[in-house]
Structures are given as C-alpha cells and as structure tokens.
C-alpha cells in the first residue's frame, strides 16, 4: 500500500471518529439534580432534571428518579418522566428547596414533582 493511500485512510478514519464524538457531545444529556441518603446510609435517592438535543436540534426535557442500595449500587427503582410542556419541568438544582424526603422509618422516599405533586416510592 502506498504512503499516500495510507495517509488518506488515516485521515478519513480520524475525521469519522471526530464526527461520531461530536454527535455524541451534541446529543449528550445535561442538567441538574439532587440526592439524599437515608439516615442509616443504606439507600440513596436521586432526582435529576435533564435536557438533551436531538440530531435535528429539538430540545427534550425530562426528569429522572432513582433509588439505589449504597452497599452494592443496585438500582431498586427507576423512572423517567417526560413532561408535556416545559412548564412542568422542575429545576432540581435549586439548593434552597429540598425535593427528596425520606420518611422516619427509611421505608419510603418522596419526590417533589412539578405542580406541587408528590411521588412516594416504598423501599424494601
């Protein structure tokens, strides 16, 4: 194989990899969130407000909720909520408000949702 052909193939490969990485960065989700451990540190609850772009440039806003065991990072419960409008999207990065609340016996966690709704999830 000639040196010129090798260089062309190398450049095409490098450009292809750069395009794929650029598309991944362009569509990668970003956002804010909050987490709370139970007082006994057995579980961790996460609430995230995320947004990402599609390849056409449309913004998609969604909320992710998760409860996991801290001993082995096993996900116990997970849900994704796609609000109908951006008015129903909540910023979980506001540190002046606590959005996650554990009950006194560490057997349930409550997430504050948009429009003052609350989602309560039992934990084993």
DSSP track, the chain: --HHHHHHHHHHHHHHHHHHHHHHHHH--EEEEEEEE-TTSSEEEEEEEEEEE-TT--EEEEEEEEEEETTT--EEEEEEE--SSGGG---TT-TTS--EEE-TTSSEEEEE-GGG-EEEEE--
pTM, 2 dp: 0.76
Domain boundaries, the chain: 30-122
Residue 46, pLDDT score: 94
| pLDDT at 1 (0 to 100) | 60
Please give the average pLDDT of every successive group of 10 residues along the chain, which has 124 residues: 83 90 82 89 92 85 92 92 74 80 90 85 88
Q: What is the pLDDT of residue 84?
A: 67
């Amino acid at each position: 194989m000639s040196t010129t052909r090798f260089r062309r193939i190398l450049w095409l490969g490098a450009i292809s990899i750069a395009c794929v990485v650029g598309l991944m960065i362009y569509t990668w989700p970003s956002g804010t969130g909050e987490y709370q451990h139970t007082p006994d540190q057995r579980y961790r609850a996460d609430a995230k407000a995320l947004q990402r772009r599609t390849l056409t440039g449309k913004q998609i806003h969604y909320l992710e909720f998760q409860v996991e065991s801290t001993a082995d990072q096993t996900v116990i419960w997970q849900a994704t909520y796609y609000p109908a409008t951006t008015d129903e999207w909540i910023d979980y990065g506001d540190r002046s408000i606590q959005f996650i609340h554990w009950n006194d016996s560490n057997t349930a966690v409550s997430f504050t949702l948009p429009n003052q709704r609350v989602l309560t999830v039992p934990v084993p």
